[in-house]
Structures are given as structure tokens and as C-alpha cells.
Chain A
Amino acid sequence: GQQVMQIPQYQHVQEGEDFTTYCNSSTTLSNIQWYKQRPGGHPVFLIQLVKSGEVKKQKRLTFQFGEAKKNSSLHITATQTTDVGTYFCAGRSNTNAGKSTFGDGTTLTVKP
């Protein structure tokens, strides 16, 4: 079945440093979503990417979707303590209509 892998599993940064998490799918995706889960909370939707090579920005966050639609990345510029949490990608392939497969997430900690 479809597998979605995320790396790294954990990332510790000093406040102000950049952060990147990568998401790789075993199958071609029709779309990919990114979610953020704060400690003790539930996942909250950040963004969806649909087109090959798509790049979207939200303030300090930059999301990319690969040309082959099998990988994606989330980059945070100049991290802040409010960025702490676990970032998940979730991808839907054309053969899995109705459900998305989540990666295991990257947990970011930021040292002030």
C-alpha cells in the first residue's frame, strides 16, 4: 500500500535558525496537505498543494510540491518558540480515493 515517510523525526533548533522537514511518498500523489499539532493538541490544517512544482508561502513558512508529485517540503525561516510542535504531511494518491495517508511527523523544538 501507499507509504508516506517524513524526515527527520526530530529537529532541535536555536530560535532564529531555519527548519526544514521533508515528505516522500511511495506513489504519485494527487495532492498533499500539511498539518501542525501543538503538544497536547490536535492537528490543524496549514495548507494544501495540488499542482506539480507548486510553491506556496505563509509568512515564514514555505511549502513545495515536487515536480513528480511524490515529495514535498516545509521550510520555516527564522524559527520562533511559537513554531514548536509536530508537523505532518498527508498525501492522497489517485488509487486511494477518500483517504489520505499521514507521515509520522517531524517534531520541532525551539530553544530560546
Chain B
Amino acid sequence: DGGITQSPKYLFRKEGQNVTLSCEQNLNHDAMYWYRQDPGQGLRLIYYSQIVNDFQKGDIAEGYSVSREKKESFPLTVTSAQKNPTAFYLCASKTSGGAGETQYFGPGTRLLVL
């Protein structure tokens, strides 16, 4: 059963704590993305990776870090430097090259700071 999985579904963080959100895909996609969505708002790009061991900052990378050690995995760490981390985090993947731009999204992780 192919797709993208994100865990956990809900995550609570204490102030000053780093937390890591998981994103795994078995679609054999080269590119993976992390977005942040605030209530009633659109998707803002945090980081993206087009190939293993390489990634680029998106529009709101400050306070976040990522790694891409394996093709199927793209974890996102929300660091204590991110002052307003409460949001819905979405991971997506797509094949690279050609005209195809379809992104497949995971179910998301809702992060709440206590």
C-alpha cells in the first residue's frame, strides 16, 4: 500500500524543547517537501529536498532543520528557536523531472506548544 505517512498525528511541545516530526514515503519519489499551515491560511514552504543528501531552504526555514539521509525519509526538527511553532505541518513528495508537478501529501502533524 503506497503513500506518505507522518507521525505523530498530534504532538505537544514544551517551550524550549526541540521536537522531530517524521515523514516517510514508499512512492519512490525523489523530491520531498515540508509545509506549515496556520488556521485559515495557505501552505508555506519550510524546506525541500530534490535528492538524497541535499536540501534547500524554503520561505520560512528559520527555527527548523531537516535531513535527507534516505530517499524515503525526510524528518523535520522544530527547534527552540522557532518562537511560534503551533501549526499544522504537512509533508509532501513528488517525482522529479518532466512536466509532472503533482505533490502527494501526508495526513499531517498538528503541533501544539504548551
Residues of A near any B CB (own CB < 8 A): 1, 6, 30-31, 33, 35, 41-45, 48, 50, 88, 90, 92, 98-105, 107
Contact = CB atoms under 8 A, between A and B. Distances in A.
Given A31-B101, A33-B102, A45-B102, A102 B107 contact: no
A104 B42 contact: yes
Q: Is the interface of A mostly helix, strand, loop or mixed?
A: strand
Contacts of B40: 107
Interface in B42-79: 42-45, 48, 50, 56, 58-59
Contacts of A104: 41-42
Greatest chain B CB density within 10 A among A45, A48, A50, A107 is at: A45
Contacts of A48: 99-102
A3 to B, nearest CB: 11
Nearest to A100: B101
Categorize the interface residue count of chain B: 20 to 34
B42 A103 contact: yes
A31 B58 contact: no
Contacts of A6: 42
B108 A42 contact: yes
B28 to A, nearest CB: 17
Greatest chain A CB density within 10 A among B44, B48, B59, B103 is at: B103
Given A98-B50, A98-B56, A103-B42, A33 B101 contact: yes
Given A98-B31, A98-B48, A99-B58, A31 B99 contact: yes
Contacts of B107: 41-42
B106 A42 contact: yes
Greatest chain B CB density within 10 A among A1, A31, A42, A43 is at: A42
B49 to A, nearest CB: 9
Nearest to A92: B101
A61 B100 CA distance: 21
The list of the 6 closest CB pairs from A to B, nearest first, reads A104-B42, A102-B43, A42-B105, A45-B102, A98-B50, A102-B42
Contacts of B106: 42
Interface string B80-114: 00000000001010001001111111111000000
